[in-house]
Structure 1
Amino acid sequence: MKIKEIVSALNEITGGRVVADLSDITLGKNPFVVMKSSNIPGKEVIEIPGLVFGDPEKEVKKVAITMTLTEQSIELAGATGVDLIIAHHPVADAANSGGVTLKNYLGLYGISVIELHEAFHGLHPGISYIHGHRAYKVDISYGGIPGNIMYVGKVLEGINTLKDMIERINSFMDIKREFLSLEKEKSAYGNEDLINSATAALAEIYLGNPDSKVQHILHIFPHTGFEPVHLLKAKSEYPEIDTVICSISRVKRESPLVEKAKELGLNFICGNSHAYEIFENGLPLALALKSYLKDDIEIRIFREKVYSFPVVAFGSDKIKEYADYISQNYLIKKM
């Protein structure tokens, strides 16, 4: 099976949102070709849903689905014979390839890359479903901001309180197993102060209590640009809303969004963090793509966990001695 056939399958899965030809990525022609910029000089990137590196005619035997392309995923792909990585998030030179060019790094291992991101957003109700509601309104550019996603939904049967919602989220994400795994790693490393991204940011109630009733949900994603003015607007448009869920990204308890929700008399919870999007979006994509591929093509899912170690407990004794030697003799400037 050739890469161009996989691109075609992804185009069908996304309802025609994939760029067919990289020679035409004119902004505005395809609404899912989007410039992302914080106005930091030289740091903007254009999202291009489709093949961003590789030969469309190349044959593929092993595909990996990941959220964000990193040097970790490139090395894992190279070591395990992956021909094609499909990354959810946009890909940029150096930023997603260990500080070197994509061409040199990916080309070294013969790995092709496809990205999707905005082209995949809004295709399915999975994130709302995991969080215990069915969205009856989906806007992927609320307030005219591309990628500013907002769902308005009603709770599913059996979800009556905030406690029900939290328990449902934790059950879907198998949180007990995550903590069991972490405890085993703490034992293996001999370090009780080990933290990881899968267990550090769990579903949590900010406003309301476990027995607070829930019916109508506003589900937002703060990192996409959703601000208090949008919350006020959404509440005026959908006065039935009683609960705000923020997921993928989170906010601090003292954030303006939480303060505005409090003013409006709303419950407020943080749901899944970005660390779990590989389950919410990655796994459904992998299973959908599998139905389009030939039986001899293997699909793998690349999941990253980020770990936090106290610096004094990081690494073996030998590597600590090495690091101390290097820092003392080459990095610390003697007065």
Structure 2
Amino acid sequence: MDEIIKVKDVLNALDKITGGRCVKNLDDIFSGKNKFVIMKSSNIPGKECMEMPGLICGNLEATVKKIAVTMTLTECNIELAGATGVDAIIAHHPVVDAANSGGVTMRGYLNLYGLSVFELHEAFHGLHPGIAYIHGHKSFRVDIAYGNIPGNILYVGKALKDIPTIGAILDRLNEFMGMQEEQKMLLTEKNVRNCHDICETNVATGGKLLVGTRENKVGTILHIFPHTGFTAQHLEMAKREHPEADTVIASISRVGKDSELVKKAEELGLNFVVGNCHAMEILENGLPLAIALQKILPEVEVVLFRERITSTPLHKVGTTAIRNYADYIASEYLINKEGGNEQTGIR
């Protein structure tokens, strides 16, 4: 007879995977003992978020037969989970009421489908060398709070033996992330929808060389994540600490040619490569996490929730019927405030 797996078993598995970083009780949240319980705030009133690695919502004694690993919890995730028999969702990113639950309170929405939700985020960072490996180097230094800023991550690594040049890094990214498949999927969608102006995140944000040439040699790499707060001053400091560094890789988030980081890299004589974007983290971090869970809890089915975000011109969105509907609603109710149908109660 198969062992019955409960939500508490999933929490224990995540705690094992993270090396004990998950929240176990209320004291972990409010005492400051767990350094991975972190407030994130841009000082926008009412929009701060507290990261709490572990179980966010759910009953510890509830049975779990199917787990979904996702990057960011959304109403689409919740609906897909509810429709496909998922009992628990593990989100990499922190979750908060309304923002990650379709604008409504989370507990009511999740309870509707009997879902438990976990989050990890900073508690998962720094656990494995995978992102560096995918980008063609082996880290000998990992700092997840560079400059004493929690979440400001710096990897310093040596290029792998089969990665002699910048071009080899870009080719490796294309191979690992299946960019040919992503391009074929986009082409198929363009053909099916008869719209060749559709754009898609993974295809639009592939690896890019901003400073240097494909033939430039690679030795020591400074691997940064600009969205975490990594600045040009941090880059200058990292170069002083590692004067042998010749290349910067910016991944998860991206920068443009006019970025201060790029200008500083050029000034310091560093190659600058833009690597995988945030949309690829579901494969970089999500897939290893999902496989680890599957190995620890073989009785449970584990699936990966992937997103494809597309951009489509308005005149090609959906069917003729839905476009006519949207035009009518926009014209009669959103622009013409005197409009409104008394019978529907819409004003």
Q: Give the TM-score range, shorter chain.
A: over 0.9
In the aligned structure 1, how far is the partner of 2:324 from the partner of 2:78?
A: 29
In the aligned structure 2, how far is the partner of 1:43 from the partner of 1:263?
A: 37
Question: Residue by residue, what CA displacement relative to the aligned partner does 1:208-249 show, whole Å, maximum 9, x if unpaired?
Answer: 011011110000000001001100110000101100000000
Q: Structure 1 residue 311: deviation in Å? A: 1.1
Q: Does structure 1 residue 324 correspond to structure 2 residue 320?
A: no
Choose the corresponding residue for 1:165, options 163, 166, 169: 169
What's the counterpart of residue 193 of structure 2?
189
Q: Number of matched residues?
A: 334
Which TM-score applies when normalising by structure 2? 0.95
**1:68-87 correspondence to structure 2 within 5 Å:** 68-87=72-91
Q: Structure 1 residue 27: deviation in Å? A: 5.8
In the aligned structure 1, how far is the partner of 2:32 from the partner of 2:146?
A: 18
What's the counterpart of residue 92 of structure 2?
88
Identity %: 58
In the aligned structure 2, how far is the partner of 1:221 from the partner of 1:334?
A: 46
CA-atom RMSD, angstroms?
1.1
Choose the corresponding residue for 2:210, options 206, 209, 213: 206
In the aligned structure 1, how far is the partner of 2:337 from the partner of 2:305?
A: 44
Does the 8 Å CA contact 1:33/1:47 hold for their aligned counterparts? Answer: yes
In the aligned structure 2, how far is the partner of 1:22 from the partner of 1:53?
A: 14
SS in 1 for 2:308: coil
Question: Residue by residue, what CA displacement relative to the aligned partner does 1:129-180 show, whole Å, maximum 9, x if unpaired?
Answer: 0000000000000000000010000000111111000000110001001101
Choose the corresponding residue for 1:2, options 3, 6, 18: 6
SS in 2 for 1:25: helix
Does the 8 Å CA contact 1:235/1:241 hold for their aligned counterparts? Answer: yes
Q: 1:8 to 1:325 in 2, by over 3 A?
A: same
What's the counterpart of residue 312 of structure 2?
309
The amino acid across from 1:307 in the alignment is T
**1:8-157 correspondence to structure 2 within 5 Å:** 8-22=12-26, 24-26=28-30, 28-157=32-161
In the aligned structure 2, how far is the partner of 1:216 from the partner of 1:24?
A: 39
Q: Structure 1 residue 38: deviation in Å? A: 0.4
User: Structure 1 segments of 4 or more deviating over 6 A?
Assistant: none
SS in 2 for 1:19: coil
In the aligned structure 2, how far is the partner of 1:334 from the partner of 1:115?
A: 43
Which TM-score applies when normalising by structure 1? 0.98
Q: Structure 1 residue 23: deviation in Å? A: 5.6
Q: 1:294 to 1:165 in 2, by over 3 A?
A: closer
The amino acid across from 2:289 in the alignment is L
The amino acid across from 1:142 in the alignment is Y
Choose the corresponding residue for 2:277, options 273, 281, 284: 273
Q: Structure 1 residue 294: deviation in Å? A: 3.6
Give 5+ residue unaligned stretches, structure 2. 339-347
SS in 2 for 1:242: strand
What's the counterpart of residue 293 of structure 1?
297
In the aligned structure 1, how far is the partner of 2:192 from the partner of 2:120?
A: 37
The amino acid across from 2:33 in the alignment is K
Q: Structure 1 residue 29: deviation in Å? A: 1.5
Does the 8 Å CA contact 1:27/1:34 hold for their aligned counterparts? Answer: no
What's the counterpart of residue 336 of structure 2?
333
Q: Structure 1 residue 315: deviation in Å? A: 1.0
In the aligned structure 2, how far is the partner of 1:269 from the partner of 1:282?
A: 23
In the aligned structure 2, how far is the partner of 1:118 from the partner of 1:151?
A: 15
Give 5+ residue unaligned stretches, structure 1. none
Question: Residue by residue, what CA displacement relative to the aligned partner does 1:273-309 show, whole Å, maximum 9, x if unpaired?
Answer: 00100000000001111111143x1101000111100
